[in-house]
Structure 1
């Protein structure tokens, strides 16, 4: 594909403002309970991300934040939707368990078909969807959060083939810290986050993938949101911005330094809604 053919597709997103965001517990290697979060800065940075997506022409719905759920800002984890069907989340850690019900309430207000999960899964944290790859392909991560049995469950509920990918580095505990869809058929990923067998699967499925390095991953450069042309990623991930630019995409940077304290960046804060 020539670079001039990279066309954006209008998306619909769900976000939740970090009004109650703190780092009071550590459920991933990035969370440091000794370093206080600046709540005003976190909200300002979140608003900039929200406004950036809206200015790119996308519709952004907002979920009401709830006291006592500081990680609700990471809206990607609350569910995973494909063609109007929603596979609900079931969080691994009790600190986040109550978030799932608020996401379910959001979908209950629309014309969505909602499926309760029997197995632990953390929504788009561990699921990615490529509608034009192999007729519609779901990539699914496991190893730290999502139960591998959720992958078969998602396939039955969503009616799309699911490819299981094993994550092996605890720093990249969710798929969305190690892999991202750049458009409807191609991805970028950090090979070392995956088992050798999963690396072979990815190289076979996506021979033209943009490969990231450890510095990109450590800067949360793979935790991005793309509309097929505009790739929104955090300011710190300068090397990743260069890579997507070289591949013909347009990097759009937003500073999310405060959210990184919770172990998330752009993608963690944004769920894609696929009616």
Structure 2
């Protein structure tokens, strides 16, 4: 995770951003700290990277790396405003001792568009990550990749429209939650075939970035507004954990956007 010390909305690279609306950086920091501390209370280890001035979106750490079995594929941003973030995260991985590290040649916004199910890497495209980056991810990470096409610009990254509730094990299939209307018709058919028992989100869930959740297989961290989705998840046996991250949502980010998962 990366503290939002320099967070602001000074440019527009997604439909959520409006530089004319005021942003409270101190409040963003307080909300981010609550998210970080929530992970710690749930028993998770949180590593922090130092934020850099002039990179207000660096708080959205999910976009800067994909880690599976200790292998790391870095990022390459589409928006020039975020391009410099990739090198800061690359250096962080090196400093932390990651040796199997590759940087992409294609536009690749990491866990913003990649979701690991325990067996397959779901890979989004349509607005940010290039389709060619999916093949590059398969070669770099050594896992099968399934491409999914996003069609609604409000849900510009896969992690705004889908998240993994529980990874696949030898005895149980992966479980996911997704918002069908964010995807192309063909992709919806793929998702129905792969995940017939998925939790389906509606417009109300998606419009507060409720589908930008983080699950450890039991606890599901959601924006505080996503109570209806939380109720449906609770009915499936999950434990909703709500956080207020409304200030960071002004830049199009929720809990998952702020969270890169390190799978060692």
TM-score w.r.t. the length of structure 2 is 0.96
1:95 aligns with 2:91: no
Q: Which residue does 2:171 correspond to in 1?
A: none
Structure 1 vs Structure 2 CA RMSD: 0.6
Offset from partner CA, 1:87-144 (integer Å, 9 cap, x none)? 110000000000000110111023321111010010100000011xxxx110000000
Offset from partner CA, 1:147-194 (integer Å, 9 cap, x none)? 000000000111111000000000000000000000111100000100
Q: Which residue does 1:121 correspond to in 2?
A: 108
Distance 1:164 1:105 in 2: 29
Unpaired runs of at least 5, structure 1:
1-14
Q: Which residue does 2:60 correspond to in 1?
A: 74
Tell me the secondary structure at the aligned position of residue 47 of structure 2.
strand
Q: Which structure carries more strand by proportion?
A: 1
1:110 aligns with 2:96: yes
Tell me the secondary structure at the aligned position of residue 242 of structure 2.
strand
Unpaired runs of at least 5, structure 2:
168-173
Q: Which residue does 1:180 correspond to in 2?
A: 163
1:236 aligns with 2:225: yes
> Quick check: 1:143–1:167 contact (8 Å CA) kept in 2?
yes
| Alignment: residue pair count | 257
Q: Which residue does 1:267 correspond to in 2?
A: 256
TM-score w.r.t. the length of structure 1 is 0.92
- Divergent runs of 4+, >6 A: none
Q: Which residue does 2:15 correspond to in 1?
A: 29
Q: Which residue does 1:5 correspond to in 2?
A: none
Q: Where does 1:1-275 land on structure 2 (aligned, <5 Å)?
A: 15-112=1-98, 113-131=100-118, 136-184=119-167, 185-275=174-264
Distance 1:262 1:244 in 2: 26
